[in-house]
Chains A and B, each alone.
Chain A
């Protein structure tokens, strides 16, 4: 076993060295896009997930383990969102990129986390989401923090190319910063207004643009709402004049459509990640798309 592993390691090592490229594996499409932006052509970035896959439930394939086995840097969302990625890392037996290894990058490190359970953590929470809401990529300001993390890790790995990475990083952050200015301006009319959402995966989007949250269709992701929850949400939508229900691309449309028919609020499907819907091919286009889609609906 060990011999085989060493052999495969020995065989893969020369490639990594001669190609002169850093092998980066990202668990989510957003992270892959940001890593690509900062690493430029010094790295080969692979993504384990497609944007059209629900990050909670990804069916692992053997090729994922092979990719991670050859990785120099493995970047994950963290906060227990992509627990499957940790299983992949474990199966790859690549200690460089496992938790605590030099190549492991948890993108949530520097994030200002929302919905973190307060006070003493109840034993009932077990080891599930004690870190708070992990869908932080939907606040574009967090994209800057993620780019910072990417830069830090890349420089650590390859200090000789620091200048190159820094230039890439700065260009990306500038472009994203321009975007944030543009989106904030566009979303100005929605500031302080109330909208409803499919579930808490859209929390950071609301927070980013100062939109107030009128309620979630599923208060527990994956568990259909009880009748009284639906009635309460519909009443809230009518009473507060909520104009739209934002729905993530994975959500089943039957419930939002029913609520829309009952209340007159529009349903708006937005993408929670890069490549989740057509027109969201990179991190900046993701917000261009989502912001425009929401604004078109509530106009």
Chain B
């Protein structure tokens, strides 16, 4: 039983590593659903390629889906200067529904069963293959290193546009780099873990850590700890109650978030009472 869950667990650790970090950017930027939008855009790319005769799960198919995700990244970066009039969250939501609807339209003209094609795009954490996990780990390490090297610029652009402007940083360029690297991460993580799980790894540890710590470093350490703890808890739930693994992990994440929120509100209540 345990060897069965070894690679899924390693996959969870790999996912936790990069998503908890990018999650902090995403929360600070207030673009909570950006991963869904980019994942859907990437899926649209795969389907569009499929419609033109490119076999799924081939290198060419991956490049097309990455190309679509990059186009989405470009679109978000381009729309950001208009943030005050058109909130980024709106741009992201609109991108998501458009990409999802376009996927339905393509599938309606596809020559074979739509249900299958949809399933083929979404991975299941229980079935991750070792080579998939290793490939993903290499990709995430590269993107993580990239973010580490340029962390000052990335955070300045995320935190404070005015300050970034004063320092003469090319904001659209760095915004694009942020969304592009993010898109590359999400495209592969949805492929191995599915949409729900990826969203959980991205947002929940990061948001819980902000309730506990102030500095970026501490938050990151806490996020990683929480991510791994919830992965283990979810897998245990999945094994002992015989439930689908991905959904179990998401449920444990959700319960942990509710507990954190309750704890925080009790503590804040005490502070105001004092």
Q: Give A residues with C-beta under 8 Å from B.
A: 1, 4-5, 8, 56-57, 59-63, 65-66, 69, 80, 83-84, 87-88, 90-92, 122-129, 220-223, 226
A54's nearest neighbour on chain B, judged by CB, is: B115
**In the complex, chain B residues whose CB is within 8 Å of the CB of A62:** 1, 4-5, 126, 238-239, 242, 245
B116 near A128 with CB under 8 A, answer yes
Q: How far is the CA of A144 from the CA of B214 in the complex (A)?
A: 69
A129 near B113 with CB under 8 A, answer yes
Contact with A along B212-238 (1 / 0, CB 8 A): 000000000000000000000000001
A63 near B116 with CB under 8 A, answer no
Partner of B3, one of A4, A90, A122, A125: A4
**In the complex, chain A residues whose CB is within 8 Å of the CB of B2:** 4
Question: What's the interface size class on B, roughly?
Answer: 35 or more
Complex interface residues of chain B between 102 and 123 (CB less than 8 A to chain A): 104, 107-108, 110-120
Partner of A220, one of B1, B5, B6, B114: B114
B51 within 8 Å of A (CB atoms): yes
B259 within 8 Å of A (CB atoms): no
B119 near A65 with CB under 8 A, answer no
Q: Give B residues with C-beta under 8 Å from A.
A: 1-6, 50-53, 55-56, 104, 107-108, 110-120, 124, 126-127, 129, 238-239, 242-245, 247
Q: How far is the CA of A273 from the CA of B121 in the complex (A)?
A: 27
A1 near B242 with CB under 8 A, answer no
Minimum Cβ distance to chain A for residue B111 (Å): 6
Residue of B53, B108, B120, B247 with highest tally of chain A CB at under 10 A:
B108
Partner of A63, one of B55, B111, B242: B242
Given contacts A1-B3, A223-B114, contact A60 B53 (CB under 8 A): no
Given contacts A62-B126, A62-B242, A126-B56, contact A222 B4 (CB under 8 A): no
**In the complex, chain A residues whose CB is within 8 Å of the CB of B244:** 59-61
**In the complex, chain B residues whose CB is within 8 Å of the CB of A66:** 1, 4
A124 near B110 with CB under 8 A, answer yes
Q: How far is the CA of A125 from the CA of B117 in the complex (A)?
A: 10
